[in-house]
């Protein structure tokens, strides 16, 4: 009996130890709706490369660009249902289930390109991740996008009144509410559908970032761009919660560490990407107008109702997030 007890003890130690190691040759999928040319897509590739490196080739992440698996309008449900292990998700796609997620869409809340990182690291990231986990998704890493501008085919947008009568493609409730506050008509649609809608005249214009305008080639079918820097479209890579919980500690550590590397690569590339995209848009002949400080103040006043409604309808979480953002 003594030998049996020793054997059982050894086996228990062995399997306990193995729970912290990586299973051999695992391959997981990551759905990304952006095209391979986008700087964020390069970040997804870096994530896959680093996962393979840190796991000594035992874990592989296969990235599917250009919405090969799921569109941005489908990815949240796909992650919740376990149809894919990992997905690059626009934070605003959670606003229906977690209304406070629209904090990133609030107009004129974030001051510059560095504000989202400061906001996330000041505690906002943990608060939001806790809410997402309740809904079946875990944040693996955050993805900064850059600032968001306005494009259209009708006239320069220099004042809030210039939006009157225009139908503008938007990407979330927050961006839609902002267009409404400015006097326009919002039309929420996937980024992959934007070019065709602009080309056909289904919408008069669109709100998106300059790098996306270049990678999606919408500068080919637009006449005007207003540099408003009115908000940021934040993303993150999320994992199906049940799948995440099934991973060993070593596997989670690899994914989180690789995610930090991808975050840095993407953030470091934003300024260069925006500058390069601006030049492409300028060379394409678009009429470009940049808001002056006086213009910006007028736009802030015109969109006050959007920020007020957010604070009043998102409960304690929304109030905490506003406090963090305004305190940076």
pLDDT exceeds 90 at position 120: yes
Q: Is the pLDDT of residue 127 over 90?
A: yes
Q: Residue 154: pLDDT above 70?
A: yes
Between 1 and 73, whose confidence is greater?
73
All domains of the chain, ordered by start, with CATH? Answer: 25-98+114-145+233-274 (3.40.190.170), 149-232+276-326 (3.40.190.170)
E strands within 195-301? Answer: 205-208, 224-227, 235-240, 287-290
Checking if the pLDDT of 15 tops 80, the result is no
- At residue 288, does pLDDT exceed 90? yes
Q: What is the pLDDT of residue 276?
A: 94
Beta bridge partners of 205: 152, 168
pLDDT in the model for residue 190: 84
Average the pLDDT over 91-116 and give the result: 90
Binning pLDDT at 50, 70 and 90, where does residue 105 land? confident
d(CA 38, CA 220): 17
For residue 22, what pLDDT band results from cuts at 50, 70 and 90?
low
Pure H helices in 109-223:
115-119, 125-134, 173-181, 194-200, 210-215
Query: Looking at residues 285-290, what average pLDDT do you find?
Result: 98
pLDDT band at 16 (very low <50, low <70, confident <90, very high): very low
On the question of pLDDT at 111 being above 80, the answer is no
**pLDDT tens-place string over residues 165-203:** 999 999 888 899 999 999 999 999 988 899 999 999 999
pLDDT of the residue at 7: 37
Q: Which helix (H) or strand (E) holds 60?
A: strand 59-64
* Cα–Cα distance, 244 to 143 (Å, whole number): 19
Instruction: Check pLDDT > 80 for residue 97.
Output: yes
Please provide the distance, in angstroms rounded to a whole number, between the alpha carbons at the two ends of the chain. Answer: 65
The pLDDT of 242-247, averaged and rounded, is 98
Laid out side by side, the sheet with 185-188 consists of: 185-188, 167-170, 205-208, 149-152, 224-227, 287-290
Mean pLDDT of 214-233: 94
239 vs 245: CA distance, rounded Å: 10
The string of DSSP letters for 68-113 reads SS--TTTHHHHHHTTSSSEEEEEGGGGTTTSGGGGGGGSTT---ST
pLDDT in the model for residue 112: 83
In this structure, are residues 111 and 325 in contact, taking their beta carbons and an 8 Å threshold?
A: no
Alpha carbons within 13 angstroms on the beta-carbon side of residue 81 total 7
pLDDT of 19 strictly over 50: no
Per-residue confidence (pLDDT) for residue 3, from 0 to 100? 43
Percent of the chain with pLDDT over 90: 78
Whether pLDDT at 77 is above 70: yes
Q: For position 325, what pLDDT does the model report?
A: 87
DSSP state of 123: I
Whether residue 103 contacts residue 109, with contact meaning beta carbons closer than 8 Å, is answered with yes
Mean pLDDT of the chain: 91
CA distance 106 to 210: 19
CB 115 within 8 A of CB 142: no
Q: Whole-prediction pTM value?
A: 0.77
């Amino acid at each position: 009996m003594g030998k049996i007890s020793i054997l059982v003890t050894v086996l228990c130690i062995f399997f306990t130890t193995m729970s912290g190691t990586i299973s051999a040759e695992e391959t997981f999928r990551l759905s990304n709706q952006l095209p391979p040319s986008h700087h964020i897509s390069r970040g997804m590739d870096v994530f896959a490369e680093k996962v393979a490196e840190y796991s000594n080739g035992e874990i592989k992440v296969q990235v599917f660009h250009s919405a090969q698996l799921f569109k941005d309008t489908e990815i949240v449900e796909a992650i919740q249902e376990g149809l894919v292990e990992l997905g690059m998700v626009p934070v605003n796609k959670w606003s229906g289930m977690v209304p406070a997620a629209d904090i990133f869409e609030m107009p004129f809340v974030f001051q510059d390109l560095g504000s989202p990182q400061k906001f996330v690291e000041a505690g906002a990231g943990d608060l939001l991740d806790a809410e997402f986990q309740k809904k079946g998704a875990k944040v693996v890493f955050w993805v900064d996008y850059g600032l968001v501008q306005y494009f259209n085919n009708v006239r320069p947008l220099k004042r809030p009144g210039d939006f009157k009568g225009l139908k503008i493609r938007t990407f979330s409730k927050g961006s839609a509410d902002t267009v409404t506050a400015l006097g326009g008509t919002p039309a929420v649609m996937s980024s992959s559908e934007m070019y065709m809608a602009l080309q056909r005249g289904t919408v008069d214009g669109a709100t998106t970032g300059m790098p996306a305008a270049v990678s999606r080639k919408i500068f080919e079918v637009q006449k005007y761009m207003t540099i408003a820097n009115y908000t940021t479209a934040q993303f993150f890579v999320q994992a199906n919660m049940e799948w995440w919980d099934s991973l060993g500690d070593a596997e989670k550590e690899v994914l989180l560490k690789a995610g930090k590397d991808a975050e840095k690569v993407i953030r470091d590339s934003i300024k260069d990407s925006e500058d390069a995209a601006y030049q492409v848009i300028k060379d394409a002949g678009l009429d470009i107008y940049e808001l002056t400080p006086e213009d910006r103040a007028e736009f802030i006043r015109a969109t006050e109702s959007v920020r007020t409604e957010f604070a009043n309808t998102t409960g304690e979480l929304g109030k905490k997030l506003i406090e963090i953002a305004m305190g940076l």
